[in-house]
Amino acid sequence: MPLVLANGLSLNAVELGQGPKVVMLHGLLVGSSAAWYFTSAPALARDHRLLLYDLRGHGRSARAPKGYDTATQAEDLTALLDVWGWRGPVSIVGHSYGALIAMRFALDHPERVHKLALVEPPLPPSSLPEMQSFFALDPEHMAESLPEMTRHFLDRRGRQADKFLANLSHLVFETSAIADVRAERDLTDQDLAKLSAPLLVFGKSSSCLRVGERLARVIPGAKLVQLEGGHYLHLEATAELTRALQDYLSG
C-alpha cells in the first residue's frame, strides 16, 4: 500500500477494483483499512473502484499526536481525495467513528458526495459504553477486552496483532485521540436533515441502535437496515452487511 502525503501527513492508502468511486472509512482505535480490506471490500470491488486508507495514527499512516476530531479528519479525507485525483462526487462508507467523519465531510462538502452509507455511527443517544469502558483500561487488558470477533480477526493476522496492540497503546496514551472523541459535539437534527438519503446500518444488539432510529426519523430519504449483531457488523455479519452495501451503492 502506498503512503500518500495529504494534509501534512503520510496516509496509507490502497485502491481496489473498477467502477463508480467509493471511499471506505474504518473506526477509531481498534480499526484500520484492514477492517474493510478483509471483509466487504473484495466483493464491493467487483463493481466499484474503492479507496481504502488508514486514518491518521492508525495502521501504517503517520502517528499524529493530535487532530482526531471529525473536522480535522474530514480535512484529511478532502486532501487525500485531491491528491488521489478524485475531485468529483464519490460515495462514502463509514463504520463507527469513520461514519462520523463521513457525515462531517458530507456536511462540509455536499457537492463531493454521491451516496453515503453509515454503519453504526455513535451519535447520541448512544454513549457507546463499550468504548468508554475501553478507554479506562491499561494496555495489558486492552486485548482481553476486545470483542470476540475482533480478537479472532487479529489472531488470523498473526504478527500484525502485536503491531496493532502497540499502535493502540500509542493512540490511547500518547495522542489526543480519546480527548478529541470525548470533546466531539453532537450533530443537531437540523444538521442531520441536510444529509441526503443515506443508508443506515445498525446491529440489533448494539447500544447504537437508537441512533439509527433517530437518524431515520430526521434525515429525509434515509433507509434503516437492522442486522443481527452488535457494533462490529463488518466482522459479525460480513455477508449481510456486504449485501446491504452492494444493493445501496448499485441502486
The per-residue pLDDT for range 30-55, each reduced to its tens digit, is 889 999 999 999 999 999 999 999 99
Instruction: Report yes or no: 68 and 57 within 8 Å, Cβ to Cβ.
Output: yes
Q: How high does pLDDT run on average in the chain?
A: 90
Cell of 13: 492508502
Comparing 67 with 125, which gets the higher pLDDT?
67
Between vectors from CA 224 to CA 26 and to CA 14, what angle results, nearest 5°?
A: 25
Dump pLDDT digits (tens) for 109-155. 999 999 999 999 999 876 555 566 666 776 556 656 666 655 555 55
Q: Indicate if the alpha-carbon torsion angle 127, 118, 243, 247 is positive or negative.
A: positive
- Band (161; pLDDT cuts 50, 70, 90): low
Is the distance from CB of 241 to CB of 217 less than 8 angstroms?
no
Task: Tell me the pLDDT band of 192, cut-offs 50, 70 and 90.
Answer: very high
**What is the amino acid identity at position 237?**
A
Collect all residues with Cβ–Cβ distance below 8 Å to 214 and sequence separation of at least 6: 123, 125
| 58 has a pLDDT exceeding 80 | yes
Whole-number pLDDT of residue 40: 98
Q: Is the pLDDT of residue 156 over 60?
A: no
CA nearest to 8, candidates 62, 85, 84, 60: 62
Burial class (CB in 10 A: 0-12, 13-18, 19+), 18: exposed
Confidence of residue 90 (pLDDT cuts 50, 70, 90): very high
What pLDDT is stored for residue 151 in this prediction? 55
Torsion over CA of 125, 232, 98 and 2, rounded to 10 degrees? Answer: 170
CATH at residue 85: 3.40.50.1820
What's the pLDDT at 160?
62
Q: Grid coordinates in use for 194?
A: 441536510
Q: What is the pLDDT of residue 177?
A: 92
Q: Could you give the count of Cα atoms lying within 13 Å of 190 in the half-sphere of its Cβ?
A: 0
Q: How many CB atoms lie within 10 A of CB 128?
A: 20
Q: Which segments of 159-208 does DSSP mark as H helices, in order?
A: 160-174, 177-183, 189-192
Bond preceding residue 125 cis, omega within 30 of 0? yes
Range of the domain at 63: 3-250
Number of domains, the chain: 1
The cell numbers describing 17, all together, are 477494483
210 confidence band (pLDDT: 50, 70, 90): very high
Structure pTM? 0.91
- DSSP annotation of 219 reads S
- Paired strand residues for 116: 92
Which residue's C-alpha cell is 434525515?
A: 219
Confidence of residue 165 (pLDDT cuts 50, 70, 90): confident
Q: Range with the lowest mean pLDDT among 76-90, 135-149, 161-175, 197-211?
A: 135-149
> CA nearest 233: which of 168, 150, 159?
150
